[in-house]
Structure 1
Amino acid sequence: YCLAVNRQFDYVDVDVFGCWSHIGASLELVRPGGLLYLTATGLTTWKPSRAFQSLGMRLTRCPPTETLHDHMARALIWRMVSAADSLGLVAQPLFSLYRGTGDVFRILFRVVRRSGD
């Protein structure tokens, strides 16, 4: 609906529930200069290698438990930055939070148009 009526927002908070194809639509809802807050849950608890694959990362082996959360946060940031780039946007990570209770990742991005577009 929002895309059909060309509506954009200053702040969008989204939990993609593992369906990463919605990231592009979420980025298009953010007004240039606006903020997108991405939530991802349960990525490291069940099968981390599958989570990395769903994010488009091809790893030869899963990172050690001590650094798994850092690697997963970086994979989420990479996925968002790549999706933004394909739309002619820039997603600048501003803040990230990991909460071990419930395995929750929260990452805040500023979304701007790529210069020259």
Structure 2
Amino acid sequence: MATEGIEAVFIETHNWGKSVKFFQGLGYQLEFETDHNSGQLRNGDGPTLFIAEVPADRETPLQLVLKVADADAFEPGDGVEVVTPFEDTHFGTRLATVRDPDGRLWNLQAPAEDRS
């Protein structure tokens, strides 16, 4: 099973409020906000933006998160180094990390397992 495109863009910022205002100015709507200066925005059916504020002395990287329909059915192809296998997250999904040939890390996100 392959990935299914971009699920989300994870953005770290030094100013949560200014970042939200910037993306709202581009047409994004705030879906939810946490109590620790982070939250999720969406514009139409495209990938979500998850923005998290970090201290001023930290870099502010941007990361693409690729969508996987079923973590248990995912089979990485040749040349894909799995750094961390799929694990449950505190925000209700399963996340894995792979490394590309240039050393960049990519997150793969799948729905959480149904444990009912």
TM-score band (shorter)? Answer: under 0.3
Larger helix proportion of the pair: 1
Larger strand proportion of the pair: 2
TM-score, normalization by structure 2? 0.28
Tell me which structure has the larger Cα radius of gyration.
2
TM-score, normalization by structure 1? 0.28
